[in-house]
Amino acid sequence: MESHSNEDLWRQVSIGLDSVGADEFQPNFLNLVEAVGADQCMVFSYRENHVECLLARSFVDHKAGRKLAETYLDGWYVNDPLHAEVMALSSGKSVVYEMNKIKSAMTAKYAEIFFGKPGISDKVSVLSAGDTLRISVNFYKRGPNTTWLLTSQTITHPIARIMGKAALLHYELAAKPNYPQPLSALSNREREVCLGVLRGRKAEAIAADLAITPNSVVTYRRRAYAKLGVNSRADLFSLCRT
């Protein structure tokens, strides 16, 4: 992973802020996540007795990242030491937590499932509450990583807090898309191809619909599947039903 200067980071922060509420936000947000050296990012929204995954992306192992999110949603969120913290936040408030502040509050089983087994060595979480949502934005480091920038408070607290607030604003402002939420992280063309696949269209038909070549359809589909961590049409259907 290449290093980034502070000027580059703040430029990417600006790009992310400019796209809040638009389809381009999540790809821009993920570019910034990668720029700060995070190997994985999860965004969860919390309501009473209900948690939703708004974004799950691992730059190391897409399937493993998605599986961790599914496991968390399957009741394990109640064991998260930050669950009570985010639920207690008042509107307009945000707070940054680093791994050393929450590790001792984890049960051994929780720590093994979400950190030990997947090889996650560090985490920074931003909890934010708005008028309609309360969310956690979680950045993870897997193993040694010299470009992990979220351990220095001089960078962690300004950038991480801004990213958390931007994510909250985006998910509060953005109208619910007319496509499955997992497709939000794709480019417009990749999403259009996946929607064609979900409608049962063949590559040639999708190409005609979009005025592109069948080879381009295959390329966009391959890129989309890689980003989503799926390998087949059946996997795509399964992902978009959750």
CATH code at position 231? 1.10.10.10
Q: Is the pLDDT of residue 1 over 60?
A: no
Q: What is the pLDDT of residue 48?
A: 84
Q: Is the pLDDT of residue 125 over 90?
A: yes
118 and 151 both lie in a single domain: yes
> Are 28 and 15 contacting, i.e. CB atoms less than 8 angstroms apart?
yes
At 153, is the pLDDT very low, low, confident or very high (cuts 50, 70, 90)?
low
144 and 197 both lie in a single domain: no
3-state secondary structure 26-76: HHHHHHHHHHCCCCEEEEEEEECCEEEEEEEEECCCHHHHHHHHHHHHCCH
At 100, is the pLDDT very low, low, confident or very high (cuts 50, 70, 90)?
confident
89 and 14 both lie in a single domain: yes
At 10, is the pLDDT very low, low, confident or very high (cuts 50, 70, 90)?
confident
167 and 229 both lie in a single domain: no
135 and 186 both lie in a single domain: no
How many domains does the structure of the chain reveal? 2
**41 beta partners:** 57, 139
Q: What is the pLDDT of residue 49?
A: 81
As given in the structure block, the two tokens for residue 234 are 């059946």
* Residue bearing the bigger pLDDT, 90 or 2: 90
As given in the structure block, the two tokens for residue 155 are 């960078």
Quickly tell me which residue has 């040639």 as its tokens.
204
Among the candidates 137, 152, 173, a domain finishes at 173
Structural domain that includes position 42: 6-173
Q: What is the pLDDT of residue 2?
A: 46
- 66/22 Cα distance (integer angstroms): 23
Among the candidates 136, 155, 173, a domain finishes at 173
Helices 6-18 and 161-173, axial angle in degrees (round to 10): 10
Question: How many Å separate Cα 199 from the centre of its chain?
Answer: 26
Q: Is the pLDDT of residue 223 over 90?
A: yes
Please give the average per-residue pLDDT across 102-114, as a whole number: 94
82 and 158 both lie in a single domain: yes
26 and 124 both lie in a single domain: yes
If you average pLDDT over every residue of the chain, what do you get? 88
Domain assignment present for residue 1? The answer is no
Distances from the Cα of 91 to the Cα of 132, 133, 202, angstroms: 9, 9, 47
187 and 169 both lie in a single domain: no
Q: What is the pTM of this model?
A: 0.72
